[in-house]
Amino acid sequence: MTICDDTQSIHRLALLRIVKLLLFFVMQGIAVILVGFVALFVSFEPVWSAENLQATITKPSEARSGSLLFKTDDGYVDATRLGVDVDLTVSGPTIRARVTQIFRNPTQDWVEATYVYPLSAGGAVDTLKMVVGDRVIVGDIKERQQAKVIYEQARAAGRKAALTEQERPDIFTNSVANIGPGETVLVQIEYQEPVHQSGDEFSLRVPLVVAPRYNPAPIVQSVDMRADNGGWGSTSSDPVPDRDRITPEVLDPALHGPVNPTSITVHLNAGFPLGEVKSPFHAVKIESPDSTTRVIRLADGQVPADRDFELTWKPAAEKAPSVGLFREHVGNADYLLAFVTPPTVEQAERKPLPREVIFVIDNSGSMGGTSITQAKASLIFGLSRLQPNDRFNVIRFDHTMDVLFPDSVSADAGHIGQATSFVNALQASGGTEMVPAMRAALTDNAHGDSNTLRQVVFLTDGEIGNEQQLFETITAMRGRSRVFMVGIGSAPNTYLMTRAAELGRGAYTHIGSVDQVEERMRGLFAKLENPAVTGLAVKFSSASADIAPAILPDLYRDEPLVLAAKLDKLQGSVEIKGRIGDRPWTVTLPLANAAEGKGLSKLWARRKISDAEVARTTRQISPDEADKAILALALQHQLVTRLTSLVAVDKTPSRPEGTPLKLTDLPLNLPAGWDFEKVFGERPQLPKPPAERRADASDLQTAMAKRPQPAIMADTVRLPKTATDAELKMIAGSILLMLSLLLSLTNRRRRLAR
Amino acid sequence: MTKARLATPILLAVAGLVLFGQGVYIHAKALLAQVLLERAFDATIATGHTTKPWSWADTWPVARIEVKRIGASAIVLAGSSGQALAFGPGHVELTPNAGERGVAVYSAHRDTHFRFLRNVAVGDEIDITRDDGKKFRYRADGSSVVRFDASGIDPLSDGYELVLSTCWPFDALTSGPYRYLLHATLIKS
């Protein structure tokens, strides 16, 4: 027994020694980690010493998804949105959208409100109406500078005024001057948009959130960071000149959402018997008054504005109509909108050309969460679709960049496996420096090789502010490469995606959820693998036509040609010619059979403006010429553009400053023509009465009794998750360490016993 | 045999170290970020321009919370995404700024920046410095435990209030649906 005890005490001594040794190692490990972390920060430290790095926080454009900021003497106060209503009417090929938002000034001061909101990139904004208290203000189109002056004069004079400006083709700003304390503001914007068609599926999209964008810091301030990217240091201009107008605010849409209740109604008149009607991201209730009409509402009445709303519909017939022709007479001109889907030609005779596919994946911080999962799944699906004779490469980027292989490699099992594990290991963090990645992807090491197709598949959420730089890069370097943009996440920057795909002569695919990855990627690969329709030309037999787009893009499988034209007379026919793969294709449409459509002139003007913007980007016409053309079109067709704004000034003088408004200025007292039921749909979601009026709610009750009580959504703050797994990890780590200690001890004992 | 016997404890030790290191990393990040944030915040007040703590940061400092009695202090960031909360308390979206009418809500991890919350007693003074340099003093007047999706906070209420929120219970190892709220009311600006 004593001997045994002795050996045990020896063991205890040994144990102590081992514990000491292990503790030493643990401390070493911690020290290494700490030093590494400090180094990470220290190496980039000079950047933030630069002055005026970012826009000041009190800038109006710091807004999130259409949130309203109130300007007071102390800066801006964030006002809570009380309700959003989106009402869409689809008439055949076009969508007329009316977006109404209700805000309240919660302060006791007279304020100016600035409000930033997303709209669809193809949309033509032509109407602004605003009710401030009991005033209806209807906007007029003016040159941007002029509008600004009018607005500022009115503001100085104490009159109520409203201004709608375009920040990006898909981001707009409203400013409202002189809102009294406790007053409620109604903002209504209307826009026109074409229906999107792909194969036999039609769709529309309502962006509900301006996702935060990454604006690269001006080069001069961060040269030390990008010393390895040659050429970057040469320019001293800020890549995001208007950063103060679109400076992002980072937020988690899931946390942010529930306080932005949105109701959506779609009146769908497709013009043909409808089959399946689907809303992939929102639960909806669908009524079917007749076979060609549907009324779609959100099932829960309201949803948080944390993702884009999408609606798709298919015809009841097996195949969608492959031709659509619509006309509108405005002024002394006829406007025509044509949809033509080229037939699908299987390339049976010849094997498809071998391809070189460059996959680019964005693993920046904005891709965190499900976006990166979708992007990875999409890329891995893409890899699996490669043929053995194809070549490929993978590039990943955040504010840094990695190219997997020095040059494109053949798509054999080894390389695919290597790429798959590379992709699987990616994690979302860091900034979004998209331009260097696009440059790398477009760098063609085998140019002029006409026996292979070079395709760039670019997976991103596109949340950057320096779009123009990206466009210039694509224009300058595209060569024979085709750029296919894959938009990831619930609210990608659609403007960037569509324009980049257009400039890169590819196509844009959006993947909004993990479930869509396979379906959408299969669609994309059908485009990549099948011959495109090229060399498209349009000829009108007797009418002289101004066509938009002026240069017809190549079409990929299932894409329709969408053509808008302004005609002097609606006579004769239009002939469309092109080549599908290597076979010629012609179709002739008689104009007399065109159906009446609505808002086509505005769509035509919007496309002409978009054409001019592209020509400006690609330097085909001088900036001055482009601006002149855009201005003329915008003023004639009453559209908000980069150069024109809607401005409204109240003619009656405003209330004397400082006088609090009375209770009668409630949203219930809406002026004639602003029917509350219509604004908020048949199931009214009356905004909660403002706080300071709650005390006097008794007279309100009677008025409100007729309406069902609103869903209380904006009332409560959703609190974020506030626990880390640090302690859990540390405890698990300690347990493992203890286990290893025990094991090595038993080992030792056994060895000693032997 | 011996090799295998040796390999297992070494593997376990490595895994243990990695896990432990990750835990330490979270704390180290939280601590270090505060140092950088402190500098950025001072720069913000001095220049009047928002200054990002590091160039690729997705967020920026908006306020400083101090509880002088227990010597606690933290820099609050804009937004309350998981990424922001790793570095400091977050100003919950769509709640007013400190000093404004309504309820300002700041949220942080219970095991890092808001560890001190459990020590804040009713009657303690909470000082908030905003990024425009204005200072506001709040007095803690109560606490409550709520579910994250039923906080009962109306950001548009009439008073001038502040809520500090963190996960509850304080010593739990996994995250749950409950949040601890410390309510405070403006007493001096």
The pLDDT tens digits of the residues spanning A87-103 come to 999 988 889 998 887 76
Residue A277 tokens read as 């009607």
Geometric angle at alpha carbon A218, from A214 and A223, rounded to 5°: 110
Q: Residue A134's pLDDT band (boundaries 50, 70, 90)?
A: low
Q: Residue A400's pLDDT band (boundaries 50, 70, 90)?
A: confident
A401 min Cα distance to partner chain B (Å)? 14
Q: Say which residue the tokens 């002409």 belong to.
A: A608
Mean pLDDT of chain B: 85
Pairing of strands A583-590, A573-580: antiparallel
Q: Among the residues of chain B, which ranges form H helices?
A: 2-47, 82-85
**Interaxial angle between packed helices A600-617 and A623-637, expressed in degrees from 0 to 180 and rounded to the nearest 10:** 170
Q: Say which residue the tokens 């709520």 belong to.
A: B146
Q: Does B37 touch chain A (CB under 8 A)?
A: no
Mean pLDDT of chain A: 73
Q: Which residues of A686-707 are buried (b: 16+ CB within 10 A; e: fewer)?
A: bbbbbbbbeeeeeeeeeebeee
Q: Residue B181: is its pLDDT beyond 80?
A: yes
Q: Does A28 touch chain B (CB under 8 A)?
A: no
A54 min Cα distance to partner chain B (Å)? 6
Among B94, B111, B165, beta carbon nearest to A256: B94
A96 min Cα distance to partner chain B (Å)? 30
Q: Residue A501: is its pLDDT beyond 70?
A: yes
pLDDT at A367: 79
Closest CA to A552 of A570, A527, A577: A577
Chain A residues closer than 8 Å to B17 by CB: 25-26, 29, 733, 737
Q: Residue A380: is its pLDDT beyond 60?
A: yes
Distances in whole angstroms, Cα of residue A56 to Cα of each of A75, A111, A158, A177, B132: 10, 19, 26, 21, 11
ipTM reported for the complex, 2 dp: 0.84
Query: How many helices (H) does chain A have, and how many strands (E)?
Result: 16, 35
Distances in whole angstroms, Cα of residue A169 to Cα of each of A436, A449, A634: 24, 37, 13
Distances in whole angstroms, Cα of residue A464 to Cα of each of A113, A168, A403, A594: 25, 12, 21, 41
At A131, the amino acid letter reads: V
Q: Residue A475: is its pLDDT beyond 60?
A: yes
- Burial bucket for residue A468 (CB in 10 Å: 0-12, 13-18, 19+): middle
Q: Residue A679: is its pLDDT beyond 60?
A: no
pLDDT at B3: 65
Residue in B closest to A76 by C-alpha: B97
- Burial bucket for residue A439 (CB in 10 Å: 0-12, 13-18, 19+): middle
pTM summary value:
0.57
Q: Residue A31: is its pLDDT beyond 80?
A: no
Q: What percent of chain B has pLDDT over 70?
A: 97
Geometric angle at alpha carbon A542, from A537 and A543, rounded to 5°: 80
Give the whole-angstrom CA distance, residue B98 versus residue B120.
19
CB contact under 8 A, A718 and B13: no
pLDDT at A241: 52
pLDDT at A216: 56
Give the whole-angstrom CA distance, residue A280 versus residue A519.
13
The answer to whether A306 touches A208, Cβ cutoff 8 Å, is: yes
How far does Cα A561 stand from its chain's mean position? 24
Q: Looking at residue A507, what DSSP letter applies? A: -
Between these two residues, A624 and A258, which has the higher pLDDT value? A624
Chain A residues closer than 8 Å to B10 by CB: 740
Tally C-beta pairs within 8 A across A and B: 276
The answer to whether A394 touches A404, Cβ cutoff 8 Å, is: yes
Distances in whole angstroms, Cα of residue A269 to Cα of each of A274, A311, A607, B126: 9, 13, 23, 59
Between these two residues, A454 and B152, which has the higher pLDDT value? A454
Q: Among the residues of A46-198, which ranges form H helices?
A: 144-156
Give the whole-angstrom CA distance, residue A259 versus residue A261.
6
Q: Residue B128's pLDDT band (boundaries 50, 70, 90)?
A: very high
Nearby residues of A454 by Cβ (< 8 Å), 6 or more positions away: A355, A356, A358, A444, A479, A480, A481, A482
Q: List beta partners, residue A685.
A: none
Mean pLDDT for A376-387 is: 89
A277 min Cα distance to partner chain B (Å)? 32
Chain A residues closer than 8 Å to B102 by CB: 106
Chain B residues closer than 8 Å to A54 by CB: 49-52, 60
Q: Which of A108-112, A474-478, A510-514, B11-15 has the lowest mean pLDDT?
A: A108-112
- Three-state DSSP class for B36? helix
A305 min Cα distance to partner chain B (Å)? 13
Q: Which of A60-74, A298-312, A443-457, A549-563 has the lowest mean pLDDT?
A: A60-74
- Interface list for B 109-138 with A (CB within 8 A): 109-112, 114, 131-132, 134
